[in-house]
């Protein structure tokens, strides 16, 4: 973990160093999912909320485009292939 990032988070939020380190570790872990892992997880979550695939693909594509490191434009076809093989 980058100590400079932990110091920055601690200084900008007023959090103690160990808490800032946990926050940074949580954020890094959250964004360490591959595109495929993210798509499969979000598909399951959205299906559990009774969303239909037509809506799910749009939501997932929008979410992917807003991530800090984006995979670039992702077509509905690619999303379906990730989920269903």
- Looking at the fold, whether 43 and 79 belong to one and the same domain comes out as yes
Q: Is residue 69 scored above 80 in pLDDT?
A: no
Shared-domain flag, residues 4 and 19: yes
Judgement on whether residues 59 and 27 belong to the same structural domain of the protein: no
Q: Are residues 65 and 49 in the same domain?
A: yes
Let me know whether 59 and 73 are in one domain. yes
| Structure-block tokens of residue 11 | 């200084």
pLDDT value of position 31: 86
Q: Do 49 and 72 belong to one domain?
A: yes
For residue 5, which of 68, 30, 23, 32 has the smallest C-alpha distance? Answer: 23
**Chain centroid to CA 37:** 9
Question: What's the CA gap between 82 and 44, in Å, rounded?
Answer: 12
Highest mean pLDDT among 1-5, 49-53, 68-72: 49-53
For the chain, the domain total comes to 2
pTM comes to: 0.72
Average pLDDT over residues 6-26: 97
Task: Return mean pLDDT, the chain.
Answer: 94
Q: Range of 43's domain? A: 35-84
Question: Which is it for the CA torsion 6, 7, 11, 16, positive or negative?
Answer: positive
Q: How wide is the angle at C-alpha 14 spanned by C-alphas 12 and 17, nearest 5°?
A: 95
Question: Mean of the pLDDT values across residues 38-61?
Answer: 97
3-state secondary structure of 52: coil
Binned at pLDDT 50, 70 and 90, residue 79 comes out as very high
């Amino acid at each position: 973990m980058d100590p400079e990032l932990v110091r920055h988070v601690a200084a900008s939020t007023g959090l103690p160093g160990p808490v800032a380190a946990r926050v940074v570790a949580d954020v890094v872990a959250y964004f360490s999912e591959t595109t495929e892992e993210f798509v499969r997880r979000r598909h399951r979550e959205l299906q559990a909320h009774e969303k239909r695939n037509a809506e799910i693909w749009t939501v997932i594509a929008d979410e992917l485009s807003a991530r800090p490191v984006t995979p670039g434009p992702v077509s509905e076809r690619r999303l379906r292939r990730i989920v269903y093989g």
